[in-house]
Amino acid sequence: MKRLFGSALKTLGFLTIVLAFPLVITLFGAWGILLGIYIIGVGILLYIIDAIVNYLIKNQKIFNGLQITLAIVYLLFCSWTYMKWQEHNTIIFPSNFKGEAAIIFGIKGYPELSKTKFWKKEIHIPENRVIITSTKEEEIPSQVRFSFKDNSKVDYSKIDWKPGFEIDCIISDSRIKSWLFRIDGDENSMVQSVMTDLCTKIIEGKETSFYTSRNNPIVPDNRGKYLSLTSRELSLLPNGLKSTGVYKAILTDNDFTEIPKQILEIESLQHLIMAANPISDFPCNLQELKRLKSVSFAATKIKEINCDLSTLDSLEHFDISRNGLIKFPEQIKSVPNLIQLSLNGNSFTDISFLDKKLNKLETLYLYSNEIERIPEEIKYLSNLKELLIFDNKIDSIPEYISELKSLEKLEIWDNPIKYISPEIKNLKRLKQMRIDDDHLTSEDKEILKELLPNCQINFQTRADKHK
């Protein structure tokens, strides 16, 4: 027993090692095991220190005094470590709070957050829901707890906390950094409105942020400059984009419900990608972009178009793929110079909506729909060069296909093709064709090769493809 408890350091070492085991059990997993090993190591270190002191110090009085001193230092260290471990922010919301709130960090001249008392920092969310502070995010504890002003019960499952929510001011190198909170309420743009207003004031020289952009969202390439803001949960943009001179804006996978007004001010814009945003109503103000050549509303919620698109003279590519469309938006036909149309990933079963109004099309994407046949109306697409109609339910290639005199590429694989009209021989410009051969005999394939001697035909077996 004396070997275990013969001195203050030995006693503390033993207790430290014993403490490690319930911690490993409580904090099960890799983190608990590593912490347990660390604490056991500290306990063993205390035994080693005791042995060194015992070896070097022969005077019993000095030995006892040093033991007590080292024990006190160790206990103070443990207390400090525990306090740091328990250090956290308590975010106190107003009573019955629902919706959005935020703490915006690092804005020069604003009040600092309250000081930490022991291991707890209380941050009271005001009635206006937003705190703007000069305190930096890295200056406060990273752990957070929540409470309400009236001490009512907190349901953590209804609180969505997004630390590090940021908005780049784009035309300056400043960045607005925040903690965003949502409690059991609909998302809105209130916090982002405050953040973009701060950006405007920074651009005007009225405010200063301690944070700078880590990656400039305006990216140069061999065609000029483009704006890239993907997957940032944005619903608003800061002002001043008109002066950027970008030729393309990529705003994919955000929370925009319309085209931001700042984008519509960019006179140089030629390409706009608004894919994967919760846009329900087609933005008729798209016509303000006079130089627009391509636009993508893929994977949005647009089901119909209720405005005239005939003034979009420069628009050549229209992408409305992956929207679950059953009915074709007829207004697309009013785009006067459309040469590429992306309708893939919808739910079309019939494509008889094709007509002479689309006769300028050179590229048509219809893959991954529910199309059952190629209709006679396909003949109106006399300028079509690429037809991608794979992954559908088409079982034959009819004679109408021969009217596509300009066709150079045909992707019709992943369809149960059983019949190919001999008239396909009239596709003199066809260079590439990809088709499944599950339902074609060897003779069928040889005949097809003879009908299209100048075409590279890639046969594939669907069963093999899905392995």
Same structural domain for residues 267 and 195? no
**Residue in the block written with tokens 């229209």:** 318
In a domain? residue 57: yes
3-state secondary structure of 75: helix
What does the pLDDT read at residue 33?
A: 80
Query: Distance (Å, rounded) from C-alpha 339 to C-alpha 317?
Result: 6
Residue ranges with strand state E in 169-277? 175-183, 218-221, 224-228, 248-250, 271-273
Query: Does 386 reside within a domain?
Result: yes
What SS3 class is residue 160? Answer: strand
In this prediction, residue 3 has a pLDDT band, given cuts at 50, 70 and 90, of: low
User: Among 12-21, 136-145, 298-307, 446-455, where is mean pLDDT lowest?
Assistant: 12-21
* Average pLDDT rounded to a whole number, residues 405-431: 97
In a domain? residue 333: no
Q: Which of 27, 58, 86 is the last residue of a domain?
A: 86
Query: How far, in Å, are 305, 337, 403, 408, 458 from residue 445 at the CA level?
Result: 43, 38, 22, 19, 10
Domain count across the chain = 4
Predicted confidence at residue 119, as pLDDT, reads 66
The C-alpha angle with vertex 303 and arms to 300 and 306, in degrees rounded to 5, equals 115
What is the mean pLDDT of the segment spanning 385-411?
A: 97
Four-residue CA torsion sign, 342, 347, 350, 352: negative
Quick check: 399 pLDDT over 50?
yes
- 360 shares a domain with 451: yes
Q: What phi, psi does 341 have (nearest 5°)? A: -130, 125
Q: Give the 3-state secondary structure of residue 37.
A: helix
The one-letter amino acid code at 126 reads: P
Evaluate if residue 120 carries a pLDDT over 90: no
Q: Does residue 277 belong to any structural domain of this protein?
A: yes
Residues 221 and 177 in one domain: no
Position 346 in a domain: no
User: Same domain, yes or no, for 222 and 247?
Assistant: yes
Task: Specify if 338 maps to a domain.
Answer: no
The percent of residues above 90 in pLDDT, for the chain, comes to 68
Domain check: are 226 and 291 in the same one? yes
Domain boundary among 54, 86, 118: 86
The one-letter amino acid code at 168 reads D
Q: Which amino acid is at 48?
A: I
Task: Answer with the one of 39, 68, 86 that is the final residue of a domain.
Answer: 86
My answer on whether 281 and 359 are in the same domain is: no
Q: How confident is the model at residue 1 (pLDDT cuts 50, 70, 90)?
A: low
Residue 210 inside a domain? The answer is no
Residues 19 and 50 in one domain: yes
Residue 434 has pLDDT above 50, yes or no: yes
Lowest mean pLDDT among 60-74, 123-137, 195-209: 60-74
Q: Is 179 left (phi over 0), alpha (psi -120 to 50) or beta?
A: beta
Residue type, 199: C
Q: What are phi and psi of 241, to 5 degrees?
A: -70, -20
288 CB neighbour count, 10 Å cutoff: 17
Mean pLDDT of the chain: 91
- Residue 67 in this model has a pLDDT that exceeds 90: no
Residue 345 counted as domain residue:
no
Q: Residue 27, class by beta-carbon neighbours within 10 Å (0-12 exposed, 13-18 middle, 19+ buried)? A: middle
Claim to verify: residue 401 and residue 428 sit in the same structural domain? yes
At 147 the three-state DSSP class reads strand
Average pLDDT estimate for 335-344: 98
> Exposed/middle/buried for 232, CB within 10 Å: 0-12, 13-18, 19+?
middle
Whole-angstrom Cα distance, residue 404 to residue 388? 13
**For residue 250, what is the domain's CATH number?**
3.80.10.10
- Kindly state whether residues 308 and 364 are assigned to the same domain: no
Q: Note down the domain range covering 48.
A: 2-86
User: What pLDDT is stored for residue 467 in this prediction?
Assistant: 47
User: Among 16-25, 36-45, 51-60, 168-177, which stretch is predicted with the lowest mean pLDDT?
Assistant: 16-25
Q: How many whole angstroms separate alpha carbon 245 and alpha carbon 225?
A: 7
Same domain, 250 and 166: no
**Residue 54 pLDDT grade (very low, low, confident, very high; cuts 50, 70, 90):** confident
Q: What is the pLDDT of residues 317-327, one digit of tens each?
A: 999 999 999 99
Tell me the pLDDT tens digit for each residue of 238-280.
999 999 999 999 999 999 999 999 999 999 999 999 999 999 9
- Going by the DSSP 8-state scheme, the letter that residue 422 receives in this structure is G
